[in-house]
Amino acid sequence: MTGEPMTTLKEAPPVERAAPVRKAGLADREGFLAWAMLLPSVVYILALVGVPFVLAIAFAFSDVTTGDPSFDWVGFANFDAIFDDGVFWRSLTNTLVFTLVSMLLIVVFGKILANILVADFRGKWVVRFLVLLPWTTPVALSTISWLWFLDSIYSPVDWVLRRLGLIEDNVVWLGGPGTAMASVIAVHVWRLTPLAAVIVMAGLVAIPRDIDEAARIDGAGFWRRMFEVTIPMTMPVIAVSALFGAILTFTDMTVSYVLTRGGPTHATDVLASWAYFRGIEGGDVGQGAAIALFLFPLLLAAAIAILRAVRRLGAS
């Protein structure tokens, strides 16, 4: 008797149920975390930059003074007054000269100092610490020390120059228009060069060593490697250091205020110091705010020009 083959039925495997998807909490949402991390910085910038900037714009079109804080709209009267002020135009010229000359010297000396600091020698960490001291020291304190260095009677700079036979009598560094501006620029360059050196040093360290070694093998000397390898590869970093230096130089008034208080005869007044003298010490808050507003478009134009140069260098 033949029958059909018997087949055994296998039980189907149990169907696994998908685990319920847990709803992501706020701590797991990247969008929320991004805003949460940025919020303190945004609040800080708005409180210390945004609000004073808006108030400066409002004051520039008002007749607010320290004696009468009531706000009365005067239109462009404050701007007409400062345009007729010869000290304003001299302060504007001094600001441009002070910024351009200082930035040129800061970038050049920063590059030289960075090359020295990346060299391998004993005790370089101590040297790096000493180099950073001018930048880390409070600007008012360090500038006061320069008042003694540049004193017309007890100046150690004059003593050294007399010993070297370079001068016969003491130089009144802060008493003449030319020497006063040169002294202010020298102190400012001394203060900001370490910052530029540290920024450029970071770019020098990032250069691959095989590129420098290949240039050495090809017979390139120090100066050829400097102008054909090092400077082109660190130019974006140098531009960034120039941008930081321009911002800190263009808006700085501490050095000129402590050393000369804008003198002699406004020879070292810059826009920031003249806005302070006019608006705070002179009591005319409206004109002081109008003078200070000229810092914004000039600094914005310089920042845009430097950033465009950095973008072109990065694209090339």
The topology (CATH level 3) of 86-315 is: MetI-like fold (1.10.3720)
Res. 207 pLDDT band, cuts 50 70 90: confident
3-state class percentages of the chain: helix first, strand second, coil last, to nearest 5 = 70, 0, 30
Express each pLDDT in 124-182 by its tens digit. 788 878 888 888 888 888 888 898 888 888 888 888 888 888 888 888 888 888 899 99
In the chain, where are the structural domains located? 86-315
DSSP state of 290: H
- This prediction has a pTM of 0.80
**Predicted local distance difference test score (pLDDT) of residue 315:** 61
Express each pLDDT in 35-49 by its tens digit. 888 888 888 888 888
Average pLDDT, the chain: 82
**Predicted local distance difference test score (pLDDT) of residue 313:** 64
Task: Classify residue 207 as exposed, middle or buried by CB count within 10 Å of its CB (0-12, 13-18, 19+).
Answer: middle
Contact 164, 187 (CB under 8 A): no
d(CA 236, CA 246): 15
Express each pLDDT in 276-289 by its tens digit. 999 888 888 899 99
Res. 1 pLDDT band, cuts 50 70 90: very low
